[in-house]
Structure 1
Amino acid sequence: MDASWEQRIAEFWRTADDSDSAATLQAMQDLVAGRDDPDAVYEWASVHDFLGREADAVPLYRRALDAGLRPPRRQQAIVQLGSSLRNIGRPDEAVALLSAQQPDDVVGDAARAFLALALHDSGRTEEALRVALRALAATLPLYGRAVSAYADELPTGALPARD
Structure 2
Amino acid sequence: MNIDELLNRYFEGETSSEEERELRAFFTSGNVPDRLAVYTPMFAYLEEESRKVRQPDEALIPIDEDILSMLDAEKVEEKKAFTLRSVLYLVSGIAASFLLLLGLNHLLNPVDPCFCSDNYVVINGRCYTDIHKVRSMALEALQEVATPADEYVDDLRSLFDDNE
Instruction: Return the TM-score normalized by structure 2.
Output: 0.25
Structure with more of its chain in helix, by fraction: 2
Q: Looking at both structures, which has the greater relative contact order when contacts are Cα pairs under 8 Å and sequence separation is at least 6?
A: 1
